[in-house]
Amino acid sequence: MESSNILVVLNDALEDGRKHIAKGSIATYIPELAKVDKNLIGATIVTSDGKRYHAGDWNKNFTMQSISKTISLIFALDHIGEEVVFSKVGMEPSGDPFNSMIKLEYKSAIPSNPLINAGAIAVAGLIADRFEFEDFLKFVTIVCGREDISVDENVYNSENEAGNLNRSIAYFLKHNGVIETDVEKALSFYFKMCSLNINTLDLANYAAILANGGRDIMSGKQLIDKSILKIVKSLMVTCGMYDGSGKFAIKVGMPAKSGVGGGIVAFAENNMGIGVFGPSLDVNGNSIGGYRILEYLSEKLGLHYFA
């Protein structure tokens, strides 16, 4: 499709997404996120040939939140190894809210997958026990294509102060031997990675690497091993959109990961990476406007994996 047509479709998708904002609500359980303007909405596409397309509030900063779970998983698999990582977390959808700890109590001490809070905290514990946060942050800047990505200290402090449920999950994991390092060290790492400030271009750059077999689209350098990519892509399809992952797979048909900061990262294989932002969330914690943008793009640009 010609560049002008992609931009037209992206702008149309944004306006379609804007119509749905009023149906959602912002995340208030993290006090700092409650201050965000509900009506913001933006999107960026980065194609496999390096072209960039923007719409709306694409360059507005927001925090990565649960999208960071995919990057921490990649980092852990690369530096610590699949065997160790999956001795601490499973590979299956949980069937429960992303911040639930119910199954830890009655089914398995090991979290269902790395993309729910319990699983991501377990992975954060593995990394924090072996690396400094700056090592992880450097990898984030590489895959997002921007060197000045940093922690939003206000959001970090807000998460640290209000994160009683995550703290309960972490201590439960420690009790069961899933977390072996200091709990507060693991939690600090987790809260920091969720509090990284990004925009939709950063997400689209990252998504373009995922779409391009783990290679940087400009240099061709292999940044993510293909065996790791297979794992992460599969988990994004089955678990990436919280309890809405199945419906999203049918409606949109792209691997994706959302965060309660309003971001969603998604990609069409060998085609394009997409980053969207809209802090108004649906009942599952997914950006309600961003979801609609991706559904619109999938339909109009033929991006559905199974189409």
d(CA 274, CA 46): 6
Owner of token pair 């065996």: 227
Beta bridge partners of 25: 281
Q: Using alpha carbons, select from 47, 83, 85, 57 the residue that is nearest to residue 69.
A: 85
Of the candidates 53, 156, 190, 296, the residue annotated as catalytic is: 190
Phi, psi torsion values for 69, nearest 5 degrees: -65, -30
For the question of residue 66 being annotated catalytic, the response is yes
Q: Which of 66, 68, 258, 280 is catalytic?
A: 66
CB atoms closer than 10 angstroms to residue 52: 14
Decide if 206 is catalytic.
no
Active site residue 112: no
User: Whose structure tokens read 């809070």?
Assistant: 117
Q: Which residue out of 242, 257, 258, 291 is catalytically annotated?
A: 242
CA 161 from centre of chain? 22
> Residue 23 catalytic?
no
Beta bridge partners of 177: none
Given 36, 69, 237, 291, which residue is catalytic? 69
| Dihedral over Cα of 69, 74, 79, 81: its sign | positive
Q: Which of the following is catalytic: 232, 260, 265, 276? A: 260
Is 260 one of the annotated active-site residues of the chain?
yes
- Do the Cβ atoms of 166 and 174 come closer than 8 Å? no
Residues catalogued as catalytic: 66, 69, 190, 242, 260
